[in-house]
Amino acid sequence: MKSIFRIIVTFSLLASFITACGESSVQTPTEVSAQFASVGTDFITQKSFEEATRYFRFTLINQYQQIVLLANAATNSPALQESYFKKLDQLAASLQPAAVGQSVLNSMINNLLIRQEAKRRNITVSPAELDAFIKEQFGLYSGQGAGPSPLPTSTLNPTQAALVDSQGLTSQAVIAATPTSISETDFSTKYAEYIKQANDQAEISEATIRYSFESNLFRRKVMDAVVDRTSIPRVQEQVWARHILVADQESALKVIARLKAGEKFSNIAADVSIDTSTALQGGDLGWFSKGDTLPEFEAEAFRLQIGEISAPIKTSSGYHVIQVLGHEIRPLSDSQYQSKVNQSFNDWLDGQWKNGAVRIRSDWQSLVPMLPAFTPVPLP
């Protein structure tokens, strides 16, 4: 299923490829016919678009193959295996030519807009910064700084305690594991293997790979410059909710009838919810703030009182039956706060698209490369 939570882009290896695909260049007006897109006087060439597309496909195919291995190893956990199958379906759809081409083209235009802003603000990335960033992405950490912060915990009031049953619902945070660092030797080996694999499978040069990492550093620096973090509150109203997701309204009404008859919410979630990521946790979604979920879901969740059960709520994911377990003014975790910063930066990028004289070649979809080749694995 589609997650009700918005996708948060992080600075990982995959994000490097998605947000910063391909090297762009400045061309003269006489060369415009050979370009895919332009932002002002800066152009995206057909060659760079093709290489960026191969790079993106290479990354998605590798991720697909890794999830196939995970799915095959999850035969004793049907719910987990089903979640892997859903992810494989999503990745296969993402590898369709139009989807790949659109993602890459949008990312390359964003990259140009960010680099143009960096130039206006005299923002640079040094070779030493780039080397350190690449090492970080491959797991070589400096040892400085703390790991991710946990979500804050709460003391349950009597109403909430009565709602939380024996199925494992909890207001406690899941604390992310502290990342472990690899050695310089291991990094050098992993990096060399990765460069060779990218070149062998997709004809990607090391220069293009370094360019994409550099673009992510520019993204970070420009984000810090353009986003007013003081305007993003560290403490926000949040809701703790659980839900049962089904395919149609009739099924949602049956869920409500079972709840009214006294069945436990968590038991019904495990029985019928098609949200495989939460079904076995009683439908628990944890705490979230405004802007984190689909608009229709959010509006109902923030309207409901503690313990109240919603009517069927339709979203792009299906029909939800929601129960709210808590309303609080809570501090955001580091990851929650960063997602708000990212959204503010994306809003800024949207404005740059409107004001940046963006032009896109009309026939670009016919020129999207299909390499490396992809063959989906038959799923049950």
Domains in the chain (CATH in brackets) are: 13-143+181-230+336-367 (1.10.4030), 235-331 (3.10.50.40)
Mean residue pLDDT across the chain: 81
Q: pLDDT digits over 159-211, tens only?
A: 444 444 434 444 443 334 445 567 888 888 888 999 999 999 999 999 989 99
Q: Do residues 82 and 67 touch, judged by C-beta distance below 8 A?
A: no
Q: pLDDT digits over 274-294, tens only?
A: 887 888 889 999 999 888 889
Q: Which of 12-21, 122-131, 138-147, 365-374 has the lowest mean pLDDT?
A: 12-21
Q: pLDDT digits over 75-109, tens only?
A: 887 777 877 888 898 899 999 999 999 999 999 99
pLDDT of residue 223: 95
pLDDT of residue 150: 43
Residue 117 has pLDDT above 90, yes or no: yes
> Residue 379 in 3-state DSSP?
coil
Q: pLDDT digits over 25-78, tens only?
A: 433 333 444 677 888 888 899 889 999 999 999 999 999 999 999 888 888 877
Percent of the chain with pLDDT over 70: 80
Contacts 24+ apart (CB under 8 A), 281-285: 281/167, 281/168, 281/169, 282/165, 282/167, 282/168, 282/169, 282/242, 283/242, 283/243, 283/244, 283/245, 283/323, 284/168, 284/169, 284/170, 284/242, 285/4, 285/5, 285/240, 285/241, 285/242, 285/243
pLDDT of residue 320: 96
> Residue 26 in 3-state DSSP?
strand
pLDDT of residue 243: 96
Q: How confident is the model at residue 335 (pLDDT cuts 50, 70, 90)?
A: confident
Residue 321 has pLDDT above 80, yes or no: yes
